[in-house]
């Protein structure tokens, strides 16, 4: 029996609403797969916490997250709750910077039965991954911004060490995908024709590419990549890019998949990793039971897969696969349509359907000792 401690941050808005069914589902899948136990430590951080106490991310919560085996996060931040400089409270960005979570992994995979915006039948085959650098780039300006009279200068930081690790991560991912039958090709998305920082980014990409002779690579300017993501997204396999470009392109990716409620993500570093949906707290639908919890469920499956890889635990891999398959089966016949796509399925209905699929596919494992 392997046990893992999961630091859980429900956060704000719909983050809390999608976390509750996610924990229930995780417990169900773990019970059924067997040989595995997850302990959840619920921790509070975010905009509500800042409003109540003046601290968005308490140090005790950071320490607890650091010593947990993985971090599961709903969403944080509210437009009405801001720091004195006008920016939103965003502890999820603090995690990325403090724990060095340089690889923001955003799978863009279209599930059968989910309404999508592109009519071309090839859009149903889209299966690529965007790897977004998540600790520096233009987001570094959060800490490196300067006022100069009537102008504000936001600094873009691109550093060799972070880029090397990012590109190695992207090429290793492409290699794993090639073994699994995907093309295994890496596209560097940058703006090397205009910004010296981006020319540096590309030069490091090309250096790292030389170490991966078996993996195809190409470079694309971000504007061209944006066009192609809409016109022919099925041609991509692994995209790797700067923080802000990745922030924008991952929302395009979410749209290709049928909306923010379908898009999972992981922020991975060498020691810690945070798993959270791509979406924010969605104040426009919070409190109405309309949030699609699928992105949260798929992020939890990514967590199980990462734990399995990291600790060599087969039960984690099996749980990840079963959870993902339950989600896929829930949507497969096309009658489960989230509110985001004009349907009547809210948080409860989608959670119930995924849970039913899980239960019907997996008989209960032999009883396990409960601690
Ligand atoms: P942030 O800046 O914090 O990432 P955002 O401005 O990108 O947030 P989101 O909170 O991600 O905004 O929401 C964008 C849109 O997508 C909103 O209209 C919201 O209602 C919708 N949306 C986001 N998440 C979901 C979800 N899980 N289910 C249904 N709709 C969602």
Pocket perturbation via mutation, ligand 1, pick of 260, 278, 337, 346 by most ligand atoms within 8 A of CB: 260
The architecture of the domain spanning 116-257 is 3-Layer(aba) Sandwich (3.40)
Please state the pTM of the whole predicted model: 0.95
Tell me, what's the pLDDT at 76? 97
Q: Please name the residue whose Cα sits nearest to atom 13 of ligand 1.
A: 282
With a 6 Å cutoff on the Cβ, whether 282 touches ligand 1 is yes
Measured CA to CA in angstroms, residue 123 lies from 21, 24, 131, 147 at distances of 30, 32, 20, 45
What number does the ligand 1 atom closest to the CA of 75 have?
3
With a 6 Å cutoff on the Cβ, whether 246 touches ligand 1 is no
Tell me, what's the pLDDT at 371? 44
Ligand 1 geometric centre to CA of 348 (Å): 18
Tell me, what's the pLDDT at 366? 57
Cα angle: 117, vertex 121, 124; to 5 degrees = 65
Tell me, what's the pLDDT at 368? 52
Pocket perturbation via mutation, ligand 1, pick of 340, 342, 350 by most ligand atoms within 8 A of CB: 340
Measured CA to CA in angstroms, residue 114 lies from 109, 246, 258, 302, 334 at distances of 11, 24, 6, 20, 6
Rounded Cα distance, 356 and 360, in Å = 6
Rounded Cα distance, 354 and 360, in Å = 10
Rounded Cα distance, 38 and 311, in Å = 14
Measured CA to CA in angstroms, residue 128 lies from 178, 180, 199, 260 at distances of 12, 13, 24, 16
With a 6 Å cutoff on the Cβ, whether 280 touches ligand 1 is yes
Hey, where are the domains in the chain? 1-93+293-371, 116-257
* 3-class secondary structure per residue, the chain: CEEEEEEEEEECCHHHHHHHHHHHHHHHHHHHHCCEEEEEEECCCCHHHHHHHCCCCCHHHHHHHHHCCEEEEEECCCCCCECCCCCECCHHHHHHHHCCCCEEEEEEECCCCCCCCCCCHHHHHCEEEEEEECCCEHHHHHCCEEEECCEEEECCECCHHHHHHHHHHHHHHHHHHHHCCCCCEEEEEECCCCCHHHHHHHHHHHHHHCCCCCCEEEEEEHHHHHHHHHHCHHHCCEEEECHHHHHHHHHHHHHHHCCHHHCCCEEECCCCEEECCCCCCCCCCCCCCCCCCHHHHHHHHHHHHHHHHHHCCHHHHHHHHHHHHHHHHHHHCCCCCEHHHCCCECHHHHHHHHHHHHHHHCCCCCCCCCC
Tell me, what's the pLDDT at 23? 98
With a 6 Å cutoff on the Cβ, whether 346 touches ligand 1 is no
pLDDT, one tens digit per residue, over 351-361 is 999 999 999 98
Tell me, what's the pLDDT at 369? 53
With a 6 Å cutoff on the Cβ, whether 90 touches ligand 1 is no
Instruction: Give which of 99, 93, 107, 115 is closest to 301, Cα–Cα.
Output: 107
Q: Low-confidence residues of the chain, pLDDT below 70?
A: 364-371
With a 6 Å cutoff on the Cβ, whether 291 touches ligand 1 is yes
Tell me, what's the pLDDT at 367? 56
With a 6 Å cutoff on the Cβ, whether 14 touches ligand 1 is yes
Tell me, what's the pLDDT at 362? 82
The answer to whether 207 touches 160, Cβ cutoff 8 Å, is no
Rounded Cα distance, 102 and 243, in Å = 9
Tell me, what's the pLDDT at 162? 97
Tell me, what's the pLDDT at 332? 97
Q: Please name the residue whose Cα sits nearest to atom 12 of ligand 1.
A: 280
């Amino acid at each position: 029996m392997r046990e893992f401690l999961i630091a859980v941050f429900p956060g704000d808005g719909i983050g809390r609403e999608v976390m509750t069914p996610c924990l229930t589902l995780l417990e169900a899948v773990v019970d059924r797969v067997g040989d595995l136990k997850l302990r959840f430590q619920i921790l509070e951080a975010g905009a509500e916490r800042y409003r109540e106490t003046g601290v968005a991310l308490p140090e005790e919560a950071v320490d607890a997250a650091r010593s947990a085996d993985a971090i599961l996060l709903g969403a944080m931040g509210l437009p009405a709750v801001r720091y004195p400089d006008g920016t939103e409270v965003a502890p999820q960005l603090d995690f990325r910077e403090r724990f060095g979570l340089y690889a923001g992994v955003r799978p863009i995979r279209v599930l059968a039965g989910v309404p999508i915006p592109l009519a071309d039948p090839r859009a149903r085959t889209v299966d690529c991954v965007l790897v977004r650098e998540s600790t520096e780039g233009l987001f570094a300006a959060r800490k490196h911004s300067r006022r100069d009279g009537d102008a504000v200068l936001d600094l873009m930081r691109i550093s060799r060490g972070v880029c090397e690790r990012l590109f190695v991560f992207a090429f290793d991912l492409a290699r794993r995908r090639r073994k699994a039958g995907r093309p295994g090709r890496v596209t560097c998305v940058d703006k090397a024709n205009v910004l010296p920082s981006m020319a540096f980014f590309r030069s490091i990409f090309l250096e790292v590419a030389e170490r991966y002779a078996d993996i195809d690579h190409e470079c694309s300017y971000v504007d061209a990549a944006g066009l192609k993501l809409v016109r022919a997204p099925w041609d991509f396999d692994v995209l790797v890019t700067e923080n802000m470009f990745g922030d924008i392109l991952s929302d395009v990716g979410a749209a290709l998949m049928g909306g923010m409620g379908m898009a999972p993500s992981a922020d991975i570093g060498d020691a810690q990793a945070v798993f959270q949906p791509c979406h924010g707290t969605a104040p426009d639908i919070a409190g109405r039971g309309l949030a699609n919890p699928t992105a949260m469920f798929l992020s939890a499956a990514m967590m199980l897969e990462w734990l399995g890889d990291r600790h060599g635990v087969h039960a984690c891999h099996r749980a990840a696969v079963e959870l993902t398959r339950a989600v896929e089966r829930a949507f497969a016949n096309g009658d489960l349509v989230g509110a985001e796509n004009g349907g009547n399925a809210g948080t409860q209905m989608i959670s119930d359907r995924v849970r039913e699929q899980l239960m019907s596919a997996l008989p209960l494992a032999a009883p396990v000792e409960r601690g």
